A and B are shown apart, each in its own frame.
Chain A
Amino acid sequence: MIRYVASRLLGAAVMAVLATLVVFLIANTVPGDPVLAQLGDIAASNPETVREWRAKWGLDLPLWERYGLFLRGLLNGDLGTSIASQRPVLEDILQYAPATIELATIAFILALAAGIPLGIAAAVWRDSWVDAAARMVSLIGVSSPTFWLAFVMLALFYGGLQIAPGPGRLDPIAFPPPDVTGLFLVDSILAGDWEAFHDAAAHLVLPSIVLAAATIGLITRTTRAAMLEAMGQDYVRVSRSKGLPERFIVLRHILPNALIPVVTLGGLAFANLLAGAVMTETVFSWPGLGRYTFRSAAALDFPAIMGITLVVSVSTLLVNLLVDLSYALLDPRVRR
């Protein structure tokens, strides 16, 4: 067990170093000149200005030297300075990340809480109306384009029925809770501000449903398939021959086996939710990483792009590490 955990940790560390290299190379070898993107036409036509500007950002150094500087900066917690906002990239990211993390986490919990029971029910009552309903839900979730679903939800529940709040993380007139983690739900609990908590939670409902929709569908289908696969195994027939109650067989014998592929999918899905929030954040005016990414990309803001990519890859690595570790909890065969 300890060896397993150690080897996974080591693997993750190696992957993280490789990720820095890949991120750096991609950002520094793509065609597109940040000089032209940042300087005005007149400034860009002056070679002296351009040279000064390149020297200021270190763009005149050889590639490997720039990578060395990049790595040294990373070790000091320095992701560089954003060309567009002129602020340290880390500061920018820390400002925008909590909104995305909060949204993605709630969406992820929602996807698991809806998808797994739905998948179990669909498998247990296979070919019944329950199965058909679960199939409909997942089909709609997977096949609705995010922007379309977002507009429909907003139009229906905010515009039409007026039972949901509008875009944004809070009402425009409300004050955010004192900043501790940047996660409004957590901060408002810490401050004991139940009004803010309620407001933040209400604002999370629509965007998290929209963001989770496709994932709910995937998790439902995967859970159902894994449950059916496990139900056909010999040990299930053995459990029946032992006279165990059916409910016990489903929850204690079949489900633990069926969860193994679901965990794999869950890890991938969470990474996708983090990275794929751009569309949802745009429609719901969510001040998150997705919007920051979009802005930085449009401006060819290399330090910012590298910083974001790095943060996303490291969090993907962390999630995969968690997935690997939960395999060890679920399946004794991988523990050795």
Chain B
Amino acid sequence: MTAPPVLEVPVLEVQDLRTVFLTDAGPVRAVDGVSFRLGAGETLGIVGESGSGKSVTALSLLRLLEEPARIVGGQMRFQGRDLLAMRPEELQALRGDRMAMVFQDPMTGLNPVIRILRQLTEHMVSHGHHTPAAAKHRAITLLGRMGITTPERTVTGFPHEFSGGMRQRVMLAMGFANDPALLVADEPTTALDVTIQAQILDLLRGLNRDFGTAILLISHDLGVIGSVCARVAVMYAGEVVEEAATEAVLADPRHPYAWALVNAVPRIDQPLGAERRLTSIEGAPPDALDLPTGCRFAPRCPFRIARCETQHPPLAEVAPGRLARCWVTQAGAVLPKPGGTGFAEPGAERVRPEAAAPLLSVRGLVKHFPLPRETLFSPRRVVHAVNGVDLEVARGETLGIVGESGCGKSTLARLITRIHTPTAGSIRFDGQEIAGASAAAIRPLRRRMQMVFQDPYASLNPRMRIGDTLAEPLVAHGLLRRGAEARERVAELLSTVGLNPAWAARFPHEFSGGQRQRISIARALALQPDLVVADEPISALDVNIQAQILNLMLNLQERFGLTYLFIAHDLAVVRHLCDRVMVLYLGQVMESARSADLFARPLHPYTRVLISAVPVPDVGAQRGRQRVVLQGEPPGTLVLPTGCPFRSRCPIARPVCETPPPLAEHTPGRWAACHFPGEFDPGSSQALPSAQARAESPA
């Protein structure tokens, strides 16, 4: 991907970097002896779970740490110059000039009260490279390079006028303003939709290729790193535990933690197995105040040997060009391939529940949210969140709902559970019409349908003991009285979701994110519901915890015969977990089919681009995978779409698409709303029509 380094001096050389947080409880070793090297024009990824020290490493490089973080040891050389010996003015001269950084959240990274132009040019001028006029010219050129179609207009705007994807392009332009030798990108696509993520990753690859800028990409997602970086360093508990070519780590990880990371994630580019449970490792990362004397991963490691408990392994070569911090693989052992048995052909892998009477049946569901008037006399504007959705869910089935943000999937979930009242349409739950039912009429049904929310931090009351949180619905529905009876049931619930029953007296803040999500699931289960609506239940969690929660959901489904409505943006997970999948766009169903069929051969062009946007490592068999990067962003929801809602971005849109295509059944169980189902095949159509770019202009 990149030319071999020409210079002898690497762009960045980090030796034994140590960064601590000086807390009241003692120094927390966030980065503990990290070393790596990045040559000119090279790409290196750093992957790890939250708390592994990857972001602190990035901030340490630019010396942007804030109190109470402190670099206490090691060496960092940038183009041969010692970063730790630099005075503040020297660092300031380097930052944003030779060495730039792009942060995670483009929504908060731009100053809301300053025009884009000034934010793009101020450091070009302050570093003395450009006059204000020349800087303006360069800013416009750069924005154009970042894929913004009307850069002259964009620069005069303010950040709030642009979407997240556009803002991340502006942030990248800001990073490249002074043509840096190194760009540090800390989770640059985590806050973005999968289609926009694909655009940004594409852009990063192109910038590395065209400008020869070295890129240090930090992410929790190996797929993201694999699609940009040639090499990857895996971090665990402040240390690099494995460093090698990304391809090699993905195919054959040599550290058990890397092995767990690789296998915790379902891969969209690999055949589905009969076993739906994912590989997950138990336990939590070690307490950074009290690290184990031996290998830091040993307490959780399924492969540990006696030596791991007592001796801390060094980062040593296990194969040419491959480093790993593991006694087991250093002794020559190879880690097994998980779930290697019983790979089945897609579509044949599991018995699908079919029921004559569906548990949930939705017809023509519509939800419009009127916005408050801007002024006294202006007309009310309306958000068209859901515009006529039909769906059916059989008992014991899992239906996945996918789409970009703003497609109406969360609103749909809240309509079905009647948190919102629909504007029109019918919802039948177990034969009973609930779309227009009063709160009192729904109340007895509430216990039969429960919701699990995305954010396990926000959805538990911080001032209630979790035992009380869990007992509350039981008591409210008059199923149990407070006291011994309720305590017993709470203990039972906690052990059902794999938590210690003795923890009922604890408060939510005493739990980790994954544990809290287990509590949320326990609360949903308390009333023994038939239907569980899970709105992005794993998006806020680390991949290993994701695997644990998914496995838990699968176990519970088998045990209690639950029906799931699973809302997610992660298509690989949806493919893995769901029996059927429905694709939403602008509040309408684009396609609905059995999961295996849908992923094997999508009929709707939107489904195909969504699948294609999932970042997969650019290795091995995937070299041949045709990547389609969808241009533009979904139009706003203030106007009810006419015709096919997707036609403004569709690669194969034709005049007939101005009449709305009906959601038609093409083969039994396969529905698609497209005039040309299955016709879009990126293998044959090379380039996307450039006319689609107009969706890029400011809203």
Q: Do A and B bind each other?
A: yes
Chain A residues positioned under 8 Å from B113 (CB to CB):
256-257, 330-332
Q: Which one of B31-39, B99-107, B531-539 contacts A? A: B99-107
Chain A residues positioned under 8 Å from B158 (CB to CB):
332-333
Give the total of B residues in contact with A, Cβ under 8 Å. Answer: 32
Bitwise interface map of A from 34 to 57 toward B, beta carbon under 8 Å scored 1, else 0: 000000000000000000000000
Check: B368 CB closer than 8 A to any chain A CB.
Answer: no
Check: B93 CB closer than 8 A to any chain A CB.
Answer: yes
Whether A234 contacts B160 in the complex (CB less than 8 A), given A10-B376, A333-B112, comes out as no
A291 to B111, CA, bound (A): 48
Residue of A nearest to B174 (CB): A242
Choose among B96, B111, B177 the residue that contacts A235 (Cβ–Cβ < 8 A): B111
Check: A86 CB closer than 8 A to any chain B CB.
Answer: no
Q: Please state if B95 and A243 are interface contacts (CB–CB under 8 Å).
A: yes
Choose among B95, B105, B114 the residue that contacts A241 (Cβ–Cβ < 8 A): B95
Whether A244 contacts B123 in the complex (CB less than 8 A), given A257-B111, A332-B160, A333-B160, comes out as yes
Give the total of A residues in contact with B, Cβ under 8 Å. Answer: 27
Check: B439 CB closer than 8 A to any chain A CB.
Answer: no
Chain A residues positioned under 8 Å from B663 (CB to CB):
none
Check: B678 CB closer than 8 A to any chain A CB.
Answer: no
Mark out the residues of chain B between 372 and 429 whose CB falls within 8 Å of any chain A CB in the assembled complex.
374-376
30 CB contacts below 8 A, A to B, read A7-B374, A7-B375, A7-B376, A10-B376, A233-B108, A234-B103, A234-B109, A235-B112, A237-B64, A237-B103, A238-B101, A241-B64, A241-B100, A242-B122, A242-B177, A243-B91, A243-B123, A243-B126, A243-B127, A244-B92, A244-B96, A244-B123, A248-B122, A252-B122, A256-B114, A257-B112, A257-B113, A332-B158, A332-B160, A333-B112
B residues contacting A by CB (< 8 A) are 62, 64, 91-97, 100-101, 103, 105, 108-114, 122-123, 126-127, 158, 160, 171, 174, 177, 374-376
Choose among A3, A238, A253, A332 the residue that contacts B103 (Cβ–Cβ < 8 A): A238
A residues contacting B by CB (< 8 A) are 3, 6-7, 10-11, 233-235, 237-245, 248, 252-253, 256-257, 330-333, 336
Q: Please state if B375 and A3 are interface contacts (CB–CB under 8 Å).
A: yes
> Of residues A235, A257, A331, which shows the largest number of chain B Cβ atoms within 10 Å of its Cβ?
A235
Choose among A7, A235, A331, A333 the residue that contacts B110 (Cβ–Cβ < 8 A): A235
A interface, over-half SS: helix
Whether A241 contacts B108 in the complex (CB less than 8 A), given A234-B103, A332-B158, comes out as no
Residue of B nearest to A242 (CB): B96
Q: Please state if A241 and B62 are interface contacts (CB–CB under 8 Å).
A: yes
Q: Please state if B160 and A238 are interface contacts (CB–CB under 8 Å).
A: no
Residue of A nearest to B118 (CB): A252
The distance from the CB of A132 to the nearest CB of chain B, in whole angstroms, is 18
A238 to B122, CA, bound (A): 12
Chain B residues positioned under 8 Å from A331 (CB to CB):
112-113
Choose among B91, B105, B123, B375 the residue that contacts A234 (Cβ–Cβ < 8 A): B105
The distance from the CB of A8 to the nearest CB of chain B, in whole angstroms, is 9
Residue of B nearest to A248 (CB): B126
A73 to B96, CA, bound (A): 66
Chain B residues positioned under 8 Å from A252 (CB to CB):
114, 122
Chain A residues positioned under 8 Å from B126 (CB to CB):
243-245, 248
A331 to B158, CA, bound (A): 10
